[in-house]
Amino acid sequence: MPPSSGETIKEKLRTLPHAPGVYMMKDRLGSVLYVGKAKDLKKRVSNYFQPSRKEAAARPKIAAMMPLVRDVEVSVVRNETEAVLLEGRLIKHWRPKYNTDFTDDKRFPLVRLDMGRDIPQFVVCRLRREDGAAYFGPFAHGGTVRRTLAQMRKRFGVLLGDTRPQPLPDGRWKLYDDVRAEIYGHPNEVTREQYRESLNQAVAFLEDRARQWRGELEERMQQAAAKKRYEEAAHLRDLLRDLEKAFVPARKFTEYVPAERNPEGAQMLLARALGLSKKVRTMECFDISHISGSFAVASMVRFEDGAPARQAYRHFRIKSFVGNDDFRAMREVVARRYRRLHEEKKPFPDLVVIDGGKGQVSSALQAFAEEGLTPPALIGLAESEEAVVFSDPAKPPLVLPRSDPALRLLQRLRDEAHRFANTFNADWRSRKIKESVLDECPGLGPKSRAALLAHFGSIQKLRAASEADIAAAPGFGPKRAREIHAFLKRLAAPMPVRDTLRLPSPTAKN
């Protein structure tokens, strides 16, 4: 129960640290009224209880709240960035009556990249939409994002949202119509493929910056987990998720949950928690990864006796449809996996884990039913609450303590599925972008492009091939081989140096 007297709050105020953090104002029933952040918790929180008339007039909502406050709870963090992220997470979770920010994700800046355009541009925005674009973020500070984008423009020659690239008659694109091309020191007239190469480098740079920002949090999380401070580690992990959401949408990064020292004990605890009659020795987990419906793939990872069995990992490209439907994708890959095991007369695992909630679990069960197969024990792990969702709809979700070895075992399995799916997605996406250079080759249709790539295995090997090598591919004669070879050589040729006066490049601010 919260304190019932003002004297108790005053005693608590005297013990507050001069450190950054987040505070929660609570009423007599323990309900959260308000969440705020502070550079200095002691100074900031104390000011609420010594208000001036001027401040009360400027903030009437807070003035109306203070008579209701019976307790203050604080969380100390390491810096302002953590405070901003934790404040947003707590407001979204508790939705306090006296908070007006953070209720719709508009406070954190995002970076939008529309890969459907011929010349995509990086644009800072505040609202994520279902428009097929890739979104990077959320980020803690808009200034940091804008400085990073300015560095990317100078270093890689990519465009931000303040330009209007124009197509040229020869198929190339003119990026700027003013002196900025000379200022930034990059070719101003480029092919789509040349720009996409720069784009890939810029995206990698943006992700690397994100990793640097997350590095400090990751290190602290690992240290807390190593010292068995699991609640603190889980809190830091949740902060990381706020940063990790969609550097590409649906992209998730590996979380560093320590390996279980006693995997056999964790397997027994998991079986007991799930109501199973025997220890869970073999587990398989499925995860879907896509970019707003594009480049949809799935992963299946397998643990045996609590450890990864990497030789049994499988990845899948979604074949039955194109679009954004995680439920349908889950149904497809689960059916493909266990249909094959059944045909090969191989045993099913002791437990199937689905990354997701009721909808994904229902889709997986439907896959077994459509194949006429009896499913093994099957659960979902709903990431928002880390709740176990049972295949029996009559059973309520199970929320295990954050420090429970059974939950940590499930988390390690799920996180490995994330990593494997996202690595495959990124590799496939990069390969497809590179292969798109053939779209511009005159007279080369989809079937011919596919035949060439199937024959040579990759766009890199095709680019290195001679005319004779190309002519030897099935369905290609000397004339077509000569045209294709000439087209690839033109793309590989360096851009001519423009005879213009280049102004000194501005110094980027880090």
Give the full edge-to-edge strand order of the sheet including 173-174: 166-167, 173-174, 189-190
CA angle 20, 21, 25 (to 5 degrees): 135
372: left (phi over 0), alpha (psi -120 to 50) or beta: left
Are 107 and 89 in contact, with CB atoms under 8 Å apart?
no
Burial 60-73 (b: 16+ CB within 10 A, else e): eebeebbeebbbbe
Tokens of 264: 């056999």
Alpha-carbon distance 265 to 267, whole Å? 5
DSSP symbol at 159: E
CA angle 224, 230, 234 (to 5 degrees): 90
pLDDT at 439: 63
> Using only C-alpha atoms, what is the Rg of the chain?
28
Measured in degrees and rounded to the nearest 5, phi and psi for residue 62 equal: -65, -40
Q: Which of 490, 502, 509, 505 is CA-nearest to residue 191?
A: 490
Tokens of 384: 């928002």
Residue 384: alpha-carbon gap to chain centroid = 14
pLDDT at 23: 93
Alpha-carbon distance 380 to 386, whole Å? 10
250: left (phi over 0), alpha (psi -120 to 50) or beta: left
pLDDT at 94: 84
**Residue linked to tokens 């969609």:** 246
What kind and span of H or E run contains 367?
helix 358-371
Residue 258's CB: how many other CB atoms inside 10 A?
15
Alpha-carbon distance 106 to 124, whole Å? 12
Grouping H, G, I as helix, E, B as strand and the rest as coil, residue 249 is: coil
pLDDT at 491: 57
pLDDT at 267: 87
Alpha-carbon distance 482 to 453, whole Å? 17
**Residue linked to tokens 């679990």:** 361
Are 401 and 387 in contact, with CB atoms under 8 Å apart?
no
Q: Which of 28, 66, 23 is CA-nearest to residue 42?
A: 23
Alpha-carbon distance 377 to 276, whole Å? 8
Alpha-carbon distance 320 to 317, whole Å? 9
- Three-state SS letters, 379-400: EEEECCCCEEEECCCCCCCEEC
Q: Which of 368, 134, 154, 405 is CA-nearest to residue 265?
A: 405
- Three-state SS letters, 42-82: HHHHHHHCCCCHHHHHHCHHHHHHHHHCCEEEEEECCCHHH
Tokens of 83: 């405070």
Are 83 and 38 in contact, with CB atoms under 8 Å apart?
yes
Each of the 510 residues of the chain gets a pLDDT tens digit; together they read 444 455 578 888 889 999 998 999 998 888 899 999 998 999 999 988 886 655 555 567 788 888 899 999 998 888 877 787 788 778 877 888 888 644 444 456 788 888 778 899 999 887 777 666 777 766 666 777 788 888 888 888 999 988 888 999 888 999 988 878 777 788 889 998 889 888 888 887 776 666 666 666 677 777 777 777 766 676 667 666 655 543 333 233 323 333 344 567 788 889 888 989 888 999 999 988 754 444 577 889 999 998 899 899 988 888 777 666 789 989 999 999 999 999 999 999 999 999 988 999 999 999 999 999 999 999 999 876 788 999 998 888 998 877 788 888 999 999 888 888 777 656 555 555 444 556 667 667 777 777 887 788 777 788 788 888 888 888 787 888 888 888 777 755 544 433 333 333 333 333
